[in-house]
Structure 1
């Protein structure tokens, strides 16, 4: 049995969809699989409390946030998974032929909900073969001093696929004597076609704002609002509330989220999967970034030659809005990378 260890049970659209995409891609290739339903109690509690904080002063908003949580849980139940496990050492009792660890920033050990959890580096994983697919350090830099336990555990991986160059360099440092890899691969959301799952919205003519609390500067916000008014576009925030947006849609499923992204006139985001789905659906987009985001977002933008879609000052908003993205060369780059990533994953799983 192939099992997957990743973030699939949190309240983040990108996290759920990357897990879903990997699960479905394997099934489409004749590889039955299930998720190792592991998450520490600390991680579960911290994320849930953080989610509810947004509605602390607003009862109606709190109800909507709870609705969002329940919606995620309903979709998470559709994924094949083991019984819930909250203690890492209990994973030793589950014997697997192969375990895929990833995707997402599972190796970001300084800023995730539960703090350092060596499980995601292969600790207590009972499998004949352990593979990393599209794993990421997130904002943690590859050349910092890492805990020895992590560096030791990295040697357990037979194959390593990294999602960005920062993580690729980390894997090279952690596994200097490895005979194979590491390899740079794409996030699972780019190697799977979601056409059957997307839920199309009824609304048209809108700008999507997608963030996880981070906001652009006030002058950038003013520029976005000005353009929206001039072009008669509604500004819609997905998943979280922002007072300056015309509409906040909180309680929507991952597949509804995709539908809104697919049909947007423009996407404004700081999120990695906001970027990936904009590119996947060939939408015009612009990004506002801080140092926390640059390792993963700027890295992917450089890979597809779109670093110019980052907002540096408020004047950039109008320029970016009026400059359509030519996706022809980007599609050519992605076609090659998709084929490479799919081949890496399937060959890694076939390697005995």
Structure 2
């Protein structure tokens, strides 16, 4: 009988969140278990924080959301369709305050991760995201991220208590900066594992996509920029266009560069990276899929005063680890010509080694829990 795995993760209307949730769910299934995502309604305070961030957007971006609401609604439908087809959820929706004791009888193991579920923006949901509702013997952390390399004083003791709620052999972090923080701040060891999307090679992702048709017929440079297209970014886009690689295309449905007549759902998002000649991004999962599909790319800084400009550690640590830290580039400085190409001969073996170790960690951790609970 297949053992049941309860998965606690983020799966919101965000490409990275949806795809990492799918990747971890699917890998657990491939390992021979029966996973199911625990449907969760975030704390009201978390929702308010997100709304506050929305109202802090520059006026141009805020009004753009209103103008493009029709396209945004189509995109929401694409996310809903993806989750319905690719993921299995619990029938019940759990809130922060509800009784979760029934979950103990439904699942043999609980896995939390990945994405930035341990960042302080979600502190009101930490009870759920640190698996506090279940016994320590059933908990596994696979690649959760703090987003940054520090924890505020007010949350240090609480965070330490929650981290101690995992057996050392079943505590991992997605970012090297997070592994270092756990050691330096809390004196604890943890494993470094890759983001769930990186558990698959480009060949694996091509099989998952199941569509060999190009998203756009002509060669193109892909833009995936949360921080917009203003200032120095505009100059960099112009510069790359002059390189003659291809047209400029953006995933952002509000951009003038957007793919016309295309509703870019999560699978189309992956195809956009697969088919690109070059990638300009400022996001973590933009970096992940650039690496997966072995693209020449640049990750632009977000030092523009926005909230997410504070979460650069998760990207710089990945680039440092792979020996390509220079690919994290100041958005106000034009690119060197050396950025036109990227040699993956050294990078790919590193990624493959990390992928193998990460899958071994996940499988071993699940089997360890199952062995303990059966004795």
Band the TM-score falls in, shorter-chain normalisation: 0.7 to 0.9
Post-superposition Cα deviations, 1:76-125, rounded to whole Å, max 9, x if no partner, equal: 1231111222234432321132111101111002x35x855332122223
Match of 1:201, SS state, is coil
Q: Is structure 2 residue 222 aligned with structure 1 residue 211? A: no
- Aligned residue in 1 for 2:305: none
Q: 1:311 to 1:70 in 2, by over 3 A?
A: same
- How far is 1:55 from its partner? 6.8
Q: Are 2:193 and 1:185 equivalent residues in the alignment?
A: yes
The answer to whether 1:265 aligns with 2:273 is: no
Aligned residues between the structures: 343
Change beyond 3 A, Cα 1:338–1:235: same
Residue 311 of structure 1, CA deviation: 2.0
Alignment of 1:99-118 (within 5 A): 99-109=110-120, 111-112=121-122, 117-118=126-127
Q: Post-superposition shift, 1:227?
A: 3.1
- Give ranges in structure 2 of 5+ residues lacking alignment: 303-308
1:7 aligns with 2:10: yes
Q: Which residue of 2 aligns with 1:253?
A: 265
* Aligned equivalents of 2:208, 2:236: Cα separation in 1: 34
Deviation at 1:173, TM superposition (A): 5.5
After TM superposition, list the pairs within 5 Å mapping 1:76-155 onto structure 2: 76-78=83-85, 79-82=87-90, 83-95=92-104, 96-109=107-120, 111-112=121-122, 117-125=126-134, 128-139=137-148, 141-142=150-151, 146-155=155-164
Distance of aligned partners of 1:333 and 1:59 in 2 relative to their CA distance in 1, 3 Å threshold: closer
- Match of 1:297? 315
CA shift in 2, pair 1:336/1:67, >3 Å: same
Q: What is the Cα-based RMSD across aligned positions, in Å?
A: 2.9
The 3-state SS of whatever aligns with 2:223 is strand
Q: Judge conservation of contact 2:224–2:281 (CA < 8 Å) in 1.
A: yes
Separation (CA, whole Å) in 1 of partners of 2:53 and 2:153:
28
Change (3 A) 1:26 1:311: same
The aligned residue for residue 250 of structure 2 is 237
TM-score, length basis structure 1: 0.87
**Residue 179 of structure 2 aligns with which residue?**
168
1:279 aligns with 2:291: yes
Match for residue 347 of structure 2? Answer: 330
Q: Alpha carbons of 1:248 and 1:175: their partners in 2 closer, same or farther (altered >3 Å)?
A: farther
SS of residue in 1 equivalent to 2:99: helix
Change in Cα spacing, 1:250 to 1:134, as seen in structure 2 (3 Å) is farther
CA deviation string 1:131-185 (max 9, x = no partner): 1011110035158553433321222212111111221133336764x6xx41111
TM-score scaled to structure 2, two decimals?
0.82
Q: Secondary structure at the match of 1:33?
A: strand
Structure 1 residue 239, shift from structure 2 partner: 3.5
Q: 2 CA distance for matches of 1:132 and 1:265?
A: 36
Larger helix proportion, structure 1 or 2? Answer: 2
How far off its partner does 1:345 sit? 0.8
Deviations along 1:17-70, one digit per CA (max 9) or x if unpaired, are 111011111111111111111132534676589779857467661100011111
Report if aligned partners of 2:235, 2:334 keep a CA contact under 8 Å in 1: no
For the 8 Å contact 1:268–1:287, the answer to whether it is kept is yes
Aligned residues of 1:3 and 1:33 also touching (Cα < 8 A):
yes
